[in-house]
Amino acid sequence: MSRAYFAEDNPGNKVIMLGNEAIARGILEGGVIIGAGYPGTPSSEILTTLAEMQKYFRHLKLEWSINEKVGFEVAYGGSMSNVRSVACMKHVGLNVASDAFMTACYAGARGGMVVISADDPNCFSSQNEQDNRFFGPHALVPVFEPSTPQEAKDLIKYAFGFSEQYQSLILFRTTTRLNHARGNVILGEIERIEREYSFDWDRSRWVCLPSHSRILRVRLLERLEDISDAADEFPFNSLKISKEKLNGTRYGFVAAGVPYSELLDALDYFNIREKVSILKLGMVYPPPRRLIKELLKAVDEILVVEELEPFLENILKQIAYEENLTNPVKIHGKDYFPQNGEFSAEIYIENIANLVGMNYEKIPVPENMMIIPPRLPILCPGCSHRATFYALKQVEKKMKTKFVNSSDIGCYTLAVYKPLEGLDTEVCMGGSIGLANGIAKIQPKENPVLAILGDSTFFHSGIPALINAVWNNNNILVVILDNRSTSMTGFQDNPGTGITITKEKGTRVIIEDLVKGCGVVPENIWVEDSNDINKMVEKLSDAVKKEGVRVFISRHTCSLVEMSQMKAQHILPPVVKIDPEKCIGCFICVNKFGCPAITFDEESNKATIDETFCRGCKVCIDICPQEAIYEELE
């Protein structure tokens, strides 16, 4: 069997790789042994690619951890044991891990330790746009940021040795357009590190109690100063000075990451790349002081090109102030570029044109601009979440009340859209139960308070909030949408399936047992098949009406996972049809249930099922009041 291109042991070979594959490759080349984390777009493919590599490189010890904090701790345990380790997460995941991260940075790294934070300007698949470069000055550790897949591979490989040299953790920050971009990558040597791997019983270092931490903090500050001194020579930082003027002015640019690549393209657009000075950073924190000083002295105006916060801009302004160079040089940044969203290619071009006085005419919008309907992501055909939210709506209607549906992060968040409109809050992983605890303290009994979250999310951070509700008698109904998969991020396994990242057999954790263990009394626990809609409505009614902390586990395998399982076993899905004689065109199936496999035919004014989309879940059979939907049996 031939190896996947990213796992070839063939240095010098040139391949096209996804940014995340290139990062995984750099981790492999860097001699890493432990990799852990929690899935989250745009970071997820890093660990799954490593898991593919593990077939050929058995020394890799990988896991999906239960959440980012534990993932970080797993990797840090490796670092303590002299092993090169990596923890991998999306930007908001670092919030979860930050309790461990902030103090681990005091004790520092033994085996090289890198924490990957995949940031998401534009919230392509996130709840916020936070800029995790700030974790550098916050935790007093260096922040690396690559600009291309090639640099991502080389930079992360380099990071592990750098981490050991300075005994510092490294924060490796990326953005979506790096993680999910492809580019040419030249493969490098896969390092094999020969040394003794063992825990080191140095209590003065690993036991961060006050008397130790005061000393560790001094060492942490010294380390950062050493790194700061070395930043000017950092091989992924570079300064190119041009003495040329454009319209009488000498211009300089500062950039890192994807904006650096886009800046070069934009400069090439006007053919001025060689006519301006450019400071390119591979380490965005701590800054290379001498290089910045040289740039400040060499130009008249500087544009700092960075997405989100004015992180580098503020650093530049501070250094200019400290070096007494504020007067002759103008430093621009957020006065040109927006502080929100991802920059499109023309934002770079436009702003460079504005700065240096080039001509750039926007492409005009056609006169008769056409309105086309949006194509939003929605719950899949056959998705068991749709059935659960539909059942909840029926119960709500029957009880003539309004629920507070505190919800969470997962595919099911898509139920916020019409027609289900089934959730009222979504803040962070596991937040549904925590928020419900508070809302239940205020909301009158006529408005039952529900917390609705997925299986993986419940494991991630829902459990402490559930125990909290039991302990404090907060009157809530927790609905766990157990589809046996972490679907939104790419169908990763979780404790509920008991399968590990390398598809080996771990130990399954049974949600209902766990819930019992959290103190929920057995008569307040229900487990039902999400797709058995009549029973769901009946049992959910019971659950909503009861008092105390209740947990309803709505269980049905993710329809996409179920489809692939059926395909592997050569089972055809049931064929479901609508009898046009019986259909009266009430469109409950289209307008209330909203399965994308059901459409209405405008000519006949009747609903029809698109067989290419239908997964044969049969839920619509039960919701049709005319009994017009049926399963076609052979």
Contact residues for other proteins, defined by CB under 8 A: 16, 18, 41-42, 124-125, 148, 177, 180-184, 258, 261-262, 264-265, 268-269, 344-346, 349, 362-363, 365-368, 370-380, 411, 414, 417-419, 488-490, 560, 590-591, 594, 596, 599-600, 612
- Amino acid residing at 420: L
> Given the complex with other proteins, which of 421 and 627 has the nearer CB atom?
421
Minimum distance, C-beta of residue 124 to other proteins, in the bound complex (Å): 7
> Given the complex with other proteins, which of 182 and 445 has the nearer CB atom?
182
Say which DSSP state 343 is in.
P
Minimum distance, C-beta of residue 324 to other proteins, in the bound complex (Å): 35
> Given the complex with other proteins, which of 392 and 590 has the nearer CB atom?
590
Residues whose CB falls within 8 Å of the CB of residue 276, separated by 6 or more in sequence, listed in order: 242, 244, 246, 251, 252, 253, 267, 356
Residues whose CB falls within 8 Å of the CB of residue 37, separated by 6 or more in sequence, listed in order: 43, 46, 47, 64, 65, 68, 71, 72, 75, 86, 87, 88, 89, 93, 116
CA distance 235 to 373: 49
Give the CA distances from residue 164 to residues 147, 362, 442, in Å, rounded to whole numbers and listed in that order. 23, 50, 52
> Given the complex with other proteins, which of 46 and 139 has the nearer CB atom?
46
> Given the complex with other proteins, which of 206 and 613 has the nearer CB atom?
613
> Given the complex with other proteins, which of 171 and 281 has the nearer CB atom?
281
Closest of 604, 579, 608, 583 to residue 596, by C-alpha: 608
Coil, strand or helix: which one is 512? helix
Say which DSSP state 581 is in.
T
> Given the complex with other proteins, which of 134 and 417 has the nearer CB atom?
417
Instruction: Check: CB of residue 412 under 8 Å from CB of residue 452.
Output: yes
Coil, strand or helix: which one is 90? strand
> Given the complex with other proteins, which of 31 and 39 has the nearer CB atom?
39
Give the CA distances from residue 622 to residues 393, 534, 557, 595, 609, in Å, rounded to whole numbers and listed in that order. 15, 7, 19, 13, 15
Minimum distance, C-beta of residue 308 to other proteins, in the bound complex (Å): 17
Instruction: Check: CB of residue 32 under 8 Å from CB of residue 84.
Output: yes
> Given the complex with other proteins, which of 54 and 261 has the nearer CB atom?
261
Instruction: Check: CB of residue 264 under 8 Å from CB of residue 256.
Output: no
Minimum distance, C-beta of residue 91 to other proteins, in the bound complex (Å): 16
- Amino acid residing at 566: M
Minimum distance, C-beta of residue 211 to other proteins, in the bound complex (Å): 48
Instruction: Check: CB of residue 219 under 8 Å from CB of residue 202.
Output: no
Coil, strand or helix: which one is 610? coil
Instruction: Measure CA 558 to chain center.
Output: 20
Minimum distance, C-beta of residue 269 to other proteins, in the bound complex (Å): 7
Instruction: Check: CB of residue 280 under 8 Å from CB of residue 308.
Output: no
Tokens of 260: 């650096």
Closest of 349, 350, 297, 339 to residue 319, by C-alpha: 297
> Given the complex with other proteins, which of 267 and 540 has the nearer CB atom?
267
Minimum distance, C-beta of residue 149 to other proteins, in the bound complex (Å): 9
Minimum distance, C-beta of residue 362 to other proteins, in the bound complex (Å): 7
Minimum distance, C-beta of residue 509 to other proteins, in the bound complex (Å): 26
Minimum distance, C-beta of residue 276 to other proteins, in the bound complex (Å): 15
